[in-house]
Amino acid sequence: MKAAVLHEIGGVPRFEDFPDPVPAADEVIVEVRAVAVENVDKAFAAGTHYAGGGYLARFPLIPVFDGIGTLPDGTLVGFGRPRAPYGALAERTVVARGAYVPVPDGIEPEVAAVLGSAVTGMSMATAAGLVPGETVLVQGATGVAGRLAVQVARLLGAGRIVATGRDEGQLREVLDLGADTVINTAVQDDALARAYTEARGDGYDIVVDFLWGRPTEILLRSLTPESFAFPKPTRVVQVGESAGARLTLSADSLRTSGVEIYGAARNLDPGTMGEVYGRIVAWTRSGELTFGVEKVPLSAVESAWRRTDLRGRRLVVVP
């Protein structure tokens, strides 16, 4: 079969022949239909993800852990955790029986492959307990998940949405998706701090943070009062680190600012995930939640893996 084959840590997958998977008694072959390639997949391949040690223990391998495909009886499913060295970026893969769920009717495979990108946006409700009418700041709103988070905030009833990004053209697109105010983070530190202060109005109730690093460090400084006060709480949900894996956090930025920091997985369990997924599916079917998708054939995976021009669209590989 044809597959995207990775030969070394930090390499780029190449379109090559790879041995067909042979299922064990407790496994099933999946014919792959669509695979979303996300930043986490590239981090695993690069050897920079904290959980990547076991994944990179054997080469060559096929990257990406999940996708959309059909079972032998033709059922369209979302599958996960193929048996190494098989991954999702191939014509076929092999997974344990039961390591898949049916794709809801009315959703195309290419869209089904990216539904998970909206789950992180729902952390404003699951992790931070969004109440309709509250103000939400989406840090990194021009990326795929950030754009979805802006839409999710509006659908959940946020009263006001502030969005950040580095590109003016893309920030205009985010306004069209439902943001009320946008902030360009590609400015000097003092200017960015002023922008956060001017845009916050009565305060940011929730921050959904895909950036971390410098922008979030400046945000937290801007939320620290200059005199003793009883500040309004700001619930920060840490989701991603596209601007940096670390920041300097001063004691007073927590002690006196009202900032509370949560991880995106807070309060998640199988039941909650089912509810979240159900809402995402319903919004997708109704057209209220829209996904930017860039579909490419598996044969073009090597050039597609290197692309930096997607501008808020998710790369989806179709065998």
Would you call 59 helix, strand, or coil by DSSP? coil
| Domain range enclosing 223 | 118-263
Tokens 């959940």 belong to 156
In a domain, 286, yes or no: no
Q: pLDDT band for position 131 (50/70/90)?
A: very high
- Same-domain pairing of 7 and 76: yes
Last residue of a domain, one of 242, 263, 284: 263
Q: What is the CATH number of the domain that holds 194?
A: 3.40.50.720
Q: How many CA atoms lie within 13 A of 252 on its CB side?
A: 9
Task: Return the amino acid letter for 123.
Answer: S
- More confident: 46 or 221: 221
- Same-domain pairing of 24 and 99: yes
- Same-domain pairing of 129 and 92: no
- Same-domain pairing of 107 and 132: no
Cβ-contact 216, 185 below 8 angstroms:
no
- What predicted TM-score, i.e. pTM, was given to this entire model? 0.90
- Same-domain pairing of 259 and 129: yes
For residue range 183-222, list pLDDT tens digits in order.
999 999 999 999 999 999 999 999 999 999 999 999 999 9
- Same-domain pairing of 127 and 257: yes
For residue range 53-70, list pLDDT tens digits in order.
666 668 899 999 999 999
Residue 51 has what pLDDT? 59
- Total count of domains within the chain: 2
In a domain, 271, yes or no: no
- Same-domain pairing of 144 and 244: yes
In a domain, 280, yes or no: no
* Residue 120: closest CA among 261, 312, 268, 278: 268
Residue 46 has what pLDDT? 79
Residue 236 has what pLDDT? 98
